[in-house]
Amino acid sequence: MIRLRIRELAEGQGYSLATFQRAAKLPGTSARRLWYSTNDGTPSGKPLKAISLATVEAVADFLRVEPGAFALKAVTTRAFREDPNNSAQCGRCSDDK
């Protein structure tokens, strides 16, 4: 699953959600969806599934970053979500065997 880092990057430049929305000239619902990287624009909503290339370009230009700078691949598996003490290893840590 891909998660957007727009909030992290915008806050790093001194923006709140409201100031980001106004300065980037985005509709409120779009700004919230991007900020929280969720379909419904709420902090606990389901992950955002799609974003137009025009929006990607506009936000990247506004934040003065390359488009790939605000996308992050989040690693989640059912085993880790259901049981954080699961003995399975993710394969990314140097301790994993």
Q: Each residue of 28-86: pLDDT tens digit?
A: 999 999 999 999 999 999 999 999 999 999 999 999 999 989 888 877 555 444 445 54
pLDDT computed for residue 29 by the predictor: 95
* 90 vs 23 pLDDT, higher one: 23
Domain hosting residue 35, numbered range: 2-80
For residue 86, what pLDDT is reported? 46
In a domain, 97, yes or no: no
Residue 92 has pLDDT above 60, yes or no: no
Cα separation, 27 vs 23, in Å, equals: 11
List all residues 6 or more positions away from 29 whose beta carbon is below 8 Å from its beta carbon.
41
Whether 13 is in a domain gets the answer yes
Domain count, the chain: 1
Task: Give this prediction's pTM.
Answer: 0.73
Does a structural domain hold residue 41? yes
What sections of the chain are H helices per DSSP? Answer: 6-12, 17-23, 28-36, 53-63, 78-82
Among 72, 8, 58, 3, which residue's Cα sits nearest to residue 30? 58
Q: For the domain that residue 44 is a member of, what is the CATH number?
A: 1.10.260.40
